[in-house]
Amino acid sequence: MLQLRIDEILKEQNHTKYWLFKRMEPMSYQNFNRIYNNETSSIKFDTLEKLKLALDVSYEDLFKEV
C-alpha cells in the first residue's frame, strides 16, 4: 500500500501544514486534511502535480510503501 509523505517532507523543509494548504488552493480544507492524513483512497493527478510543485519534490519522493 502507498502513503503520501507530506508530513515528513514538510518537516524536512521546515514548512507548516498551513503553508502547504495555502499553495493548494482552491482546495477545501476538509479535502486537504484527508490527503494530508492519508485518509483517502484516491487522488487526482492534478492534485499530485500541485503537491509535487508546491513541495519541489519528485513524484517518487511523495510516496512511501507501507
Work out the burial of residue 6: count CB atoms within 10 Å of its CB; fewer than 13 is exposed, 13-18 middle, 19 or more buried: buried
Mean pLDDT of 3-32: 95
CATH code (residue 40): 1.10.260
Q: How many domains is the chain partitioned into structurally?
A: 1
Helix or strand or coil: residue 31?
Answer: helix
Range of the domain at 48: 2-57
Q: Which residues pair with 4 in a beta bridge?
A: 63
Residues in CB range of 39: below 8 A, 6 or more apart: 33
Main-chain phi, psi angles of 20, to 5 degrees: -70, -40
Instruction: Please state, for a pLDDT cut of 90, what percent of the chain lies above it.
Output: 89
- Per the prediction, the chain carries an average pLDDT of 94
Q: Report yes or no on 24 lying in a domain.
A: yes
pLDDT band at 1 (very low <50, low <70, confident <90, very high): confident
